[in-house]
Structure 1
């Protein structure tokens, strides 16, 4: 009976040791492999359980062989910047995250190391566009000009940092949303250029504007960039209509003062004229 108990305990210990060894030798596979791209800066990210393993990233353009990124070899981090490798931009790319042991002498029994493949990704059609900056300038009492600054990308060519306009060219448009201050009714206009005209506004009113990049040639999910911050501007309706409340108060005060002065002068003149009229008969009688 004692021998049986010893054998049972020994078996339990061996099983526990086998599980521990198996866990130590288990190579963690990369999970949740995703493309994160903003203004054509594209990073591949993934998750994995903490371990002493490293990760190497290979990429491939549709129909081509796999290429290992020299900047993404034996990484301890869980991300890789592939921006400079995804050229031409309007192509479909895939990535492969391979798990490797940190010790180069590690023997995995001849088995293939784990690979995790990404979904296909097209930078030209899928990279998100950030919020733009813009200014609003009143042209006349019913029209403003919206000047939009094209966001810069992380792509450089011939020593120049490219903007999204340099990459998207005629595919890039801008959506302008505007409304009167305090009103919930909004109107949208689309401009082909970075300088847009918004007309048929009500003179003497304040309008609020928001702008977003718009690429109608893209899939619907990535057609529109992020909305900008709201910017409000006053549409000048003429010299007097555009004056502030304080200026109006000053003008009214001046007009009232002038009117009072005119009335006082008129009364004084009338009295003086009346006194002259009364003095004439008295002089005649004395003669």
Structure 2
């Protein structure tokens, strides 16, 4: 009886040790990356309550590292942007689960592994901003601002999309006459683009970044149309406005001619009487 009690006590102590050490914790699920303009987060779903997490990441060309801000955290996301600065490397992350009161990390905690990410290929490229300026009646200039990224130079300034992709970056320019559906596309590598246009016509534009290799498209920009002062004042009303204007001019000519003829006819008898006073 005594030995059985001792055995049961040992079992309970071992079970308590396993629970406190996190041996019965389950690994997290749905570990996934979210990367926008090289700003990169790791997210996951918890499977247990009262758990803390530690994230570590490694690349093909780098060893495992832990970010202090993502060590023994209770949130289910980790910003790994500043440790994923080699955009050509392929990274994998792991999420380790620990009981919150544990002061010493387990030798074998539950681990969930992320899918690999290669930022050049996998990050989402955001929409560019640009301006539209009419240079003259037949040319419109587009000036594109290369989107900034969260990858930095050694001096901590942010790199642009062009700094990272270089000659692989180009822009798809979509353009069409305002209030029409005939959209056309022009491919350009430059930030400043001059478009040939019809005089007196308003044009609308949107721009989409395109990476040649690895092949991918960015988000399309908002639509910007050339200003109303670039348009003919009758353009909003179409051909009918020109017809109405022509009719107005014609009526004005008729009225002027009519008045002129009427005045000439009234003046004719007086002129004749003055020329022949004996007939009066």
With the length of structure 2 as denominator, give the TM-score of the two structures.
0.76
**Aligned: 1:172 with 2:172:** no
**Residue in structure 1 matching 2:142, options 143, 146, 149:** 146
* Equivalent residue, structure 1, for 2:267: 272
Task: Give TM-score scaled by structure 1 length.
Answer: 0.75
Q: Say yes or no: does 1:84 pair with 2:82.
A: yes
Match for residue 122 of structure 1? 118
Distance (Å, rounded) in 2 between the aligned partners of 1:120 and 1:50? 25
Q: Contact between 1:173 and 1:213, CA under 8 Å: does it hold in 2?
A: yes
1:110-259 aligned at under 5 Å gives the runs 112-157=108-153, 158-199=155-196, 201-218=197-214, 220=215, 223-233=216-226, 256-257=251-252
Within 2, Cα distance between the matches of 1:29 and 1:144? 58
Tell me how far apart the structure 1 counterparts of residues 62 and 258 of structure 2 sit (CA, whole Å).
Answer: 95
The count of residues paired between Structure 1 and Structure 2 equals 260
C-alpha contact (below 8 Å) 2:273/2:279 kept by paired residues: no
Shift of 1:183: 3.9
RMSD: 3.5
Compared CA separation, residues 105 and 133, structure 1 to 2 (3 A): closer
SS in 2 for 1:103: coil
Cα distance change on mapping 1:238 and 1:259 into 2, 3 Å: farther
Going from structure 1 to structure 2, the CA distance change for 1:238 and 1:266 (only over 3 Å counts) comes to farther
2:95 counterpart residue number: 97
Shift of 1:202: 4.4
Can you give the 5+ residue segments of structure 2 that lack an aligned partner in the other structure?
Answer: 1-14
Question: Equivalents in 1 of 2:54, 2:278: separation in Å?
Answer: 126
Q: Quick one: distance in 2 between partners of 1:146 and 1:198?
A: 8
The alpha-carbon distance between structure 1 residues 239 and 119, as it changes in their structure 2 partners (threshold 3 A), is closer
* Matched-pair contact (CA < 8 Å) for 1:176–1:209: yes
Pairwise mapping of residues 23-42 of structure 1 onto structure 2 (< 5 A)?
26-42=24-40
Distance 2:123 2:134 in 1: 34
Change (3 A) 1:50 1:29: same
Distance in 1, matches of 2:53 and 2:259, equals 95
* Matched residue, 2:51: 53
Note the residue ranges of structure 1 that are not aligned, 5 or more in a row: 1-17
State whether residues 236 and 242 of structure 1, in contact with CA within 8 Å, keep that contact through their aligned partners in structure 2.
Answer: no
Deviations 1:155-208 (A, max 9, x none): 443253333233323222111122334444422111102222333x44444433
The 1:257/1:214 distance shift into structure 2, 3 A limit, reads same
107 and 115 in structure 1: CA distance in 2 versus 1, 3 angstrom threshold: closer
| Cα displacement (A) at 1:269 | 3.8
Separation of aligned partners in 1, 2:40 and 2:100 = 26
